[in-house]
């Protein structure tokens, strides 16, 4: 019986953790600069733009579109990141390819050395 209670507690704790990590951390709004890019329509937010923090990252939105954004803040934030920051991911990809190339060269050099020692 005691064991069952413990596992139930663990399940509940896991469930709470899952819910807690899934829920976006949202704070704001704070005033945005007019030239900030809107998270909903990707245009400038204009003079009455506002900004929210989603999981610590700042996203600006036009005041009229804020209700749309608030229906799915994390979804809009994610799409915005993919739309606005493709360069960063390509830099990461480039870095990965470069690392892989260097690793392959090292492995090839080692193999050659090993062959020399064997022969
Ligand atoms: Zn907009």
- The domain segmentation of the chain, as residue ranges, is 24-84, 88-119
Reported pTM: 0.56
Cα 12 to averaged position of ligand 1 atoms, centre (Å): 40
- Structure tokens, 115: 């062959």
Task: Answer whether the bond into residue 29 is a cis peptide, omega within 30°.
Answer: yes
Question: DSSP character for 38?
Answer: B
First to last CA, the chain: 68
The model's pLDDT over 35-80, given as tens digits with 9 standing for 90+, comes to 999 999 999 999 999 999 999 999 999 999 999 999 999 999 999 9
Cα 101 to averaged position of ligand 1 atoms, centre (Å): 43
């Amino acid at each position: 019986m005691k064991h069952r209670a413990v596992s139930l507690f663990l399940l509940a704790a896991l469930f709470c953790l899952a819910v807690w990590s899934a829920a976006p951390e949202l704070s704001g709004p704070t005033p945005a600069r007019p030239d900030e890019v809107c998270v909903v329509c990707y245009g400038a937010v204009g003079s009455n733009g506002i900004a929210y923090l989603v999981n610590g990252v700042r996203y600006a939105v036009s005041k009229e579109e804020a209700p749309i954004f608030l229906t799915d803040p994390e979804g809009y934030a994610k799409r915005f990141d993919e739309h606005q920051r493709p360069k960063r991911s390509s830099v990461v990809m480039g870095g990965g390819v470069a690392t892989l190339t260097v690793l392959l060269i090292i492995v090839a050099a080692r193999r050659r050395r090993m062959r020399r020692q064997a022969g």
